Protein backbone atom coordinates (compact mmCIF):
# COMPACT_ATOMS: atom_id res chain seq x y z
CA UNK A 1 0.00 0.00 0.00
CA UNK A 2 2.64 2.50 1.04
CA UNK A 3 4.86 1.27 -1.79
CA UNK A 4 2.29 1.98 -4.47
CA UNK A 5 1.66 5.37 -2.89
CA UNK A 6 5.34 6.13 -3.06
CA UNK A 7 5.48 5.05 -6.67
CA UNK A 8 2.50 7.26 -7.45
CA UNK A 9 4.11 10.15 -5.65
CA UNK A 10 7.28 9.48 -7.58
CA UNK A 11 5.55 9.54 -10.92
CA UNK A 12 3.75 12.76 -10.00
CA UNK A 13 7.09 14.27 -9.01
CA UNK A 14 8.62 13.08 -12.26
CA UNK A 15 5.79 14.58 -14.25
CA UNK A 16 6.15 17.87 -12.42
CA UNK A 17 9.85 17.82 -13.10
CA UNK A 18 9.27 17.16 -16.80
CA UNK A 19 6.70 19.93 -17.02
CA UNK A 20 9.14 22.24 -15.28
CA UNK A 21 11.92 21.27 -17.72
CA UNK A 22 9.62 21.92 -20.64
CA UNK A 23 8.78 25.33 -19.24
CA UNK A 24 12.48 26.09 -18.81
CA UNK A 25 13.24 25.09 -22.40
CA UNK A 26 10.44 27.33 -23.65
CA UNK A 27 11.75 30.17 -21.54
CA UNK A 28 15.21 29.67 -22.96
CA UNK A 29 13.83 29.57 -26.51
CA UNK A 30 11.72 32.69 -26.05
CA UNK A 31 14.52 34.45 -24.18
CA UNK A 32 16.86 33.98 -27.12
CA UNK A 33 16.38 37.11 -29.22
CA UNK A 34 18.09 35.75 -32.34
CA UNK A 35 16.06 32.56 -32.30
CA UNK A 36 12.75 34.40 -31.85
CA UNK A 37 13.57 36.91 -34.60
CA UNK A 38 14.85 34.23 -37.00
CA UNK A 39 11.93 31.94 -36.21
CA UNK A 40 9.38 34.68 -36.88
CA UNK A 41 10.94 35.67 -40.22
CA UNK A 42 11.26 32.04 -41.25
CA UNK A 43 7.67 31.20 -40.29
CA UNK A 44 6.52 34.32 -42.14
CA UNK A 45 8.34 33.34 -45.34
CA UNK A 46 7.12 29.75 -45.04
CA UNK A 47 3.56 31.04 -44.60
CA UNK A 48 3.88 33.23 -47.71
CA UNK A 49 5.26 30.33 -49.71
CA UNK A 50 2.53 27.97 -48.53
CA UNK A 51 -0.31 30.41 -49.14
CA UNK A 52 1.13 31.82 -52.39
CA UNK A 53 -1.89 31.05 -54.62
CA UNK A 54 -4.22 32.86 -52.21
CA UNK A 55 -2.16 35.93 -51.35
CA UNK A 56 -0.25 36.68 -54.55
CA UNK A 57 -2.11 39.64 -56.13
CA UNK A 58 -1.38 38.54 -59.74
CA UNK A 59 -0.35 35.54 -61.80
CA UNK A 60 3.48 35.45 -61.46
CA UNK A 61 3.85 34.47 -65.12
CA UNK A 62 1.36 36.92 -66.65
CA UNK A 63 3.22 39.43 -68.83
CA UNK A 64 1.94 42.92 -69.53
CA UNK A 65 4.28 44.62 -71.94
CA UNK A 66 2.52 47.96 -71.51
CA UNK A 67 3.40 48.04 -67.83
CA UNK A 68 7.09 47.17 -67.84
CA UNK A 69 9.36 48.19 -64.96
CA UNK A 70 6.64 49.92 -62.94
CA UNK A 71 8.36 51.20 -59.75
CA UNK A 72 7.32 50.01 -56.26
CA UNK A 73 4.76 51.85 -54.11
CA UNK A 74 7.21 54.04 -52.20
CA UNK A 75 8.33 55.55 -55.47
CA UNK A 76 6.59 58.69 -56.86
CA UNK A 77 5.35 56.81 -59.93
CA UNK A 78 4.48 53.68 -57.98
CA UNK A 79 0.98 52.40 -57.47
CA UNK A 80 -0.81 49.82 -55.33
CA UNK A 81 -1.88 47.59 -58.23
CA UNK A 82 1.72 46.41 -58.30
CA UNK A 83 2.99 47.07 -54.75
CA UNK A 84 6.58 46.05 -55.60
CA UNK A 85 6.38 47.13 -59.21
CA UNK A 86 6.87 44.95 -62.30
CA UNK A 87 9.88 43.40 -64.02
CA UNK A 88 11.22 43.87 -67.54
CA UNK A 89 8.37 41.80 -69.00
CA UNK A 90 5.67 43.53 -66.98
CA UNK A 91 5.19 40.65 -64.54
CA UNK A 92 4.04 41.57 -61.02
CA UNK A 93 7.15 41.59 -58.81
CA UNK A 94 5.40 40.89 -55.51
CA UNK A 95 3.70 37.80 -56.94
CA UNK A 96 6.97 36.50 -58.38
CA UNK A 97 8.68 37.16 -55.06
CA UNK A 98 6.03 35.18 -53.15
CA UNK A 99 6.18 32.24 -55.57
CA UNK A 100 9.98 32.45 -55.52
CA UNK A 101 9.95 31.68 -51.80
CA UNK A 102 8.54 28.27 -52.72
CA UNK A 103 11.53 27.54 -54.95
CA UNK A 104 14.12 28.59 -52.39
CA UNK A 105 12.47 26.62 -49.59
CA UNK A 106 11.97 23.59 -51.82
CA UNK A 107 15.64 23.70 -52.85
CA UNK A 108 16.78 24.07 -49.24
CA UNK A 109 14.62 21.26 -47.86
CA UNK A 110 15.11 18.73 -50.68
CA UNK A 111 18.83 19.30 -51.04
CA UNK A 112 19.39 18.93 -47.34
CA UNK A 113 17.29 15.75 -47.19
CA UNK A 114 19.67 14.14 -49.67
CA UNK A 115 22.91 15.51 -48.30
CA UNK A 116 21.98 14.92 -44.64
CA UNK A 117 21.25 11.28 -45.42
CA UNK A 118 24.56 10.74 -47.26
CA UNK A 119 26.69 12.78 -44.86
CA UNK A 120 25.23 11.48 -41.58
CA UNK A 121 25.41 7.90 -42.80
CA UNK A 122 29.10 8.27 -43.66
CA UNK A 123 29.92 10.34 -40.59
CA UNK A 124 28.23 8.02 -38.08
CA UNK A 125 29.84 4.95 -39.64
CA UNK A 126 33.28 6.60 -39.52
CA UNK A 127 32.82 7.81 -35.96
CA UNK A 128 31.45 4.54 -34.62
CA UNK A 129 33.74 2.02 -36.28
CA UNK A 130 36.92 4.09 -36.51
CA UNK A 131 39.99 2.46 -38.07
CA UNK A 132 39.80 1.75 -41.78
CA UNK A 133 36.18 2.88 -42.15
CA UNK A 134 37.14 6.18 -40.57
CA UNK A 135 40.14 6.50 -42.86
CA UNK A 136 38.07 5.82 -45.97
CA UNK A 137 35.36 8.30 -45.01
CA UNK A 138 37.90 10.95 -44.09
CA UNK A 139 39.51 10.47 -47.48
CA UNK A 140 36.15 10.89 -49.20
CA UNK A 141 35.58 14.10 -47.27
CA UNK A 142 38.97 15.42 -48.33
CA UNK A 143 38.27 14.62 -51.98
CA UNK A 144 34.87 16.26 -51.80
CA UNK A 145 36.31 19.41 -50.20
CA UNK A 146 38.97 19.66 -52.90
CA UNK A 147 36.34 19.82 -55.66
CA UNK A 148 35.25 23.41 -56.37
CA UNK A 149 31.48 23.16 -55.67
CA UNK A 150 30.22 26.01 -57.83
CA UNK A 151 32.34 25.01 -60.81
CA UNK A 152 31.41 21.33 -60.69
CA UNK A 153 27.73 22.14 -60.14
CA UNK A 154 27.72 24.61 -63.04
CA UNK A 155 29.40 22.13 -65.38
CA UNK A 156 27.11 19.23 -64.48
CA UNK A 157 23.95 21.34 -64.69
CA UNK A 158 25.11 22.65 -68.08
CA UNK A 159 25.69 19.14 -69.40
CA UNK A 160 22.54 17.54 -67.99
CA UNK A 161 20.31 20.55 -68.60
CA UNK A 162 19.08 23.03 -66.01
CA UNK A 163 15.91 22.27 -64.07
CA UNK A 164 14.75 22.34 -60.49
CA UNK A 165 15.24 18.58 -60.05
CA UNK A 166 18.75 18.59 -61.53
CA UNK A 167 19.83 21.47 -59.30
CA UNK A 168 18.47 19.68 -56.22
CA UNK A 169 20.20 16.41 -57.09
CA UNK A 170 23.54 18.02 -57.96
CA UNK A 171 23.61 20.13 -54.79
CA UNK A 172 22.37 17.22 -52.67
CA UNK A 173 25.22 15.03 -53.83
CA UNK A 174 27.79 17.82 -53.40
CA UNK A 175 26.91 19.33 -50.02
CA UNK A 176 27.19 16.33 -47.68
CA UNK A 177 30.69 17.17 -46.42
CA UNK A 178 29.78 19.17 -43.31
CA UNK A 179 27.25 16.53 -42.22
CA UNK A 180 29.95 13.88 -42.43
CA UNK A 181 32.51 16.00 -40.56
CA UNK A 182 30.19 16.97 -37.71
CA UNK A 183 28.44 13.60 -37.35
CA UNK A 184 31.82 11.84 -37.30
CA UNK A 185 33.11 14.06 -34.52
CA UNK A 186 29.98 13.88 -32.38
CA UNK A 187 29.68 10.11 -32.82
CA UNK A 188 33.28 9.74 -31.67
CA UNK A 189 32.34 11.69 -28.56
CA UNK A 190 29.41 9.47 -27.55
CA UNK A 191 30.90 6.19 -28.78
CA UNK A 192 32.71 5.39 -25.56
CA UNK A 193 29.90 6.58 -23.27
CA UNK A 194 28.66 4.17 -20.59
CA UNK A 195 25.21 3.71 -22.08
CA UNK A 196 26.72 2.57 -25.38
CA UNK A 197 28.86 0.02 -23.56
CA UNK A 198 25.82 -1.09 -21.60
CA UNK A 199 23.90 -1.64 -24.83
CA UNK A 200 26.82 -3.56 -26.28
CA UNK A 201 27.06 -5.71 -23.16
CA UNK A 202 23.32 -6.36 -23.32
CA UNK A 203 23.90 -7.85 -26.75
CA UNK A 204 22.21 -5.18 -28.89
CA UNK A 205 23.05 -5.40 -32.59
CA UNK A 206 25.26 -2.74 -34.15
CA UNK A 207 22.39 -1.42 -36.23
CA UNK A 208 20.23 -1.13 -33.13
CA UNK A 209 22.93 0.73 -31.25
CA UNK A 210 23.46 3.12 -34.15
CA UNK A 211 19.74 3.78 -34.52
CA UNK A 212 18.57 3.90 -30.93
CA UNK A 213 21.63 5.00 -28.93
CA UNK A 214 23.93 6.99 -31.22
CA UNK A 215 21.45 8.80 -33.49
CA UNK A 216 19.29 10.38 -30.75
CA UNK A 217 22.40 11.67 -29.02
CA UNK A 218 23.86 13.38 -32.06
CA UNK A 219 20.50 14.77 -33.19
CA UNK A 220 21.08 18.22 -31.65
CA UNK A 221 24.26 18.66 -33.68
CA UNK A 222 22.48 17.33 -36.77
CA UNK A 223 19.72 19.94 -36.54
CA UNK A 224 22.31 22.73 -36.38
CA UNK A 225 24.11 21.45 -39.48
CA UNK A 226 20.77 21.04 -41.27
CA UNK A 227 20.06 24.75 -40.88
CA UNK A 228 23.56 25.77 -41.95
CA UNK A 229 23.47 23.59 -45.04
CA UNK A 230 19.95 24.64 -45.94
CA UNK A 231 21.18 28.24 -46.01
CA UNK A 232 24.18 27.23 -48.09
CA UNK A 233 22.03 25.31 -50.60
CA UNK A 234 19.66 28.27 -51.01
CA UNK A 235 22.56 30.65 -51.64
CA UNK A 236 24.15 28.24 -54.11
CA UNK A 237 20.92 27.73 -56.05
CA UNK A 238 20.57 31.49 -56.27
CA UNK A 239 24.15 31.80 -57.54
CA UNK A 240 23.66 29.02 -60.11
CA UNK A 241 20.39 30.53 -61.34
CA UNK A 242 22.03 33.96 -61.42
CA UNK A 243 24.73 32.54 -63.69
CA UNK A 244 22.04 31.10 -65.96
CA UNK A 245 22.84 27.48 -65.14
CA UNK A 246 20.33 26.67 -62.44
CA UNK A 247 16.57 26.97 -62.34
CA UNK A 248 15.40 28.11 -65.79
CA UNK A 249 13.04 30.93 -66.79
CA UNK A 250 10.19 31.64 -66.47
CA UNK A 251 10.31 30.16 -62.94
CA UNK A 252 10.50 32.98 -60.37
CA UNK A 253 13.73 31.88 -58.60
CA UNK A 254 15.13 34.81 -56.61
CA UNK A 255 18.58 34.30 -58.10
CA UNK A 256 17.09 34.32 -61.56
CA UNK A 257 15.15 37.51 -60.75
CA UNK A 258 18.43 39.24 -59.84
CA UNK A 259 19.96 37.96 -63.05
CA UNK A 260 17.04 39.17 -65.18
CA UNK A 261 17.06 42.51 -63.39
CA UNK A 262 20.79 43.02 -63.95
CA UNK A 263 20.37 44.76 -67.30
CA UNK A 264 18.00 47.35 -65.79
CA UNK A 265 19.75 47.77 -62.45
CA UNK A 266 21.48 51.05 -63.26
CA UNK A 267 18.19 52.86 -63.90
CA UNK A 268 15.79 50.82 -61.76
CA UNK A 269 17.89 49.41 -58.91
CA UNK A 270 14.90 47.92 -57.07
CA UNK A 271 14.69 45.06 -59.58
CA UNK A 272 17.79 43.60 -57.99
CA UNK A 273 17.49 44.99 -54.45
CA UNK A 274 14.09 43.39 -53.78
CA UNK A 275 14.93 39.73 -54.59
CA UNK A 276 18.38 40.21 -53.04
CA UNK A 277 16.90 41.44 -49.77
CA UNK A 278 14.45 38.51 -49.83
CA UNK A 279 17.31 36.04 -50.19
CA UNK A 280 19.25 37.79 -47.47
CA UNK A 281 16.29 37.71 -45.07
CA UNK A 282 15.58 34.03 -45.65
CA UNK A 283 19.20 32.95 -45.22
CA UNK A 284 19.63 35.24 -42.22
CA UNK A 285 16.51 33.78 -40.60
CA UNK A 286 17.68 30.20 -41.13
CA UNK A 287 21.13 31.02 -39.75
CA UNK A 288 19.65 32.76 -36.70
CA UNK A 289 17.47 29.74 -35.98
CA UNK A 290 20.48 27.44 -36.35
CA UNK A 291 22.66 29.57 -34.05
CA UNK A 292 19.80 29.73 -31.55
CA UNK A 293 19.30 25.95 -31.51
CA UNK A 294 23.02 25.49 -30.99
CA UNK A 295 23.07 27.98 -28.11
CA UNK A 296 20.17 26.21 -26.42
CA UNK A 297 21.19 22.60 -26.97
CA UNK A 298 24.93 23.03 -26.41
CA UNK A 299 25.77 26.47 -25.03
CA UNK A 300 29.43 25.53 -24.48
CA UNK A 301 30.13 25.15 -28.22
CA UNK A 302 29.21 28.73 -29.08
CA UNK A 303 32.12 30.42 -30.79
Cα–Cα distance between 180 and 172 in angstroms, integer?
13
- If binding is defined by CB under 8 A, does position 272 make contact with another protein? yes
Which residue, among 253, 224, 298, has the nearest Cα to 38 in the 3D structure?
224
| CB-count burial class (<10 Å; 0-12, 13-18, 19+) for 267 | exposed
Candidates 61-69, 119-127, 138-146, 193-201 — which segment interacts with another protein by CB under 8 A?
138-146
Its sign, for the CA torsion 11, 17, 20, 25, is negative
Cα–Cα distance between 238 and 83 in angstroms, integer?
24
Q: Indicate the residue among 168 and 272 with the shorter CB distance to another protein.
A: 272
**Which of 246, 291, 294, 295 is in the footprint of another protein by CB under 8 A?**
291
Q: Indicate the residue among 203 and 299 with the shorter CB distance to another protein.
A: 299
Candidates 2-10, 18-26, 140-148, 213-221 — which segment interacts with another protein by CB under 8 A?
140-148
**Which of 20, 74, 139, 195 is in the footprint of another protein by CB under 8 A?**
139
CB atoms within 10 A of CB 52: 18
**Which of 61, 243, 249, 297 is in the footprint of another protein by CB under 8 A?**
243
Least Cβ distance, residue 90 to another protein (angstroms): 22
Q: Which of residues 23-62 bind another protein (CB under 8 A)?
A: 34
- If binding is defined by CB under 8 A, does position 279 make contact with another protein? yes
Q: Indicate the residue among 222 and 272 with the shorter CB distance to another protein.
A: 272
**Which of 116, 171, 225, 235 is in the footprint of another protein by CB under 8 A?**
235
Which residue, among 296, 275, 279, 300, has the nearest Cα to 31 in the 3D structure?
296
> CB neighbours of 260 closer than 8 A, spacing ≥ 6?
87, 88, 249, 271
Buried b (16+ CB within 10 A) or exposed e, 149-185: beeebbebbeeeebebebbbbbbbbbbbbbbbbbbbe
Q: Are 41 and 280 in contact (CB under 8 A)?
A: no
Give how many residues touch another protein by CB under 8 A: 44
Least Cβ distance, residue 162 to another protein (angstroms): 11
Q: Which of residues 147-186 bind another protein (CB under 8 A)?
A: 147-152, 154-156, 158-161
Chain contacts with another protein (rule: CB under 8 A) = 34, 139, 142-143, 145-152, 154-156, 158-161, 231, 235, 238-239, 242-245, 255, 258, 262, 265-266, 269, 272-273, 276, 279-280, 283-284, 287-288, 291, 303
Amino acid sequence: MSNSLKAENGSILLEQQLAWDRLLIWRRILGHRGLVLGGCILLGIMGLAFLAPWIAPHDPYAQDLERRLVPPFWHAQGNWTHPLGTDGLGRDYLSRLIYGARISLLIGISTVSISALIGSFLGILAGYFGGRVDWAVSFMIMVRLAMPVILVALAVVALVGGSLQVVILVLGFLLWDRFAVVMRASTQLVRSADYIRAAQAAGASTLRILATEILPNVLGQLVVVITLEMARAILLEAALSFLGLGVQPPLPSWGLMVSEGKEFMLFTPWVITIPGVALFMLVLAINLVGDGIRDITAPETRT
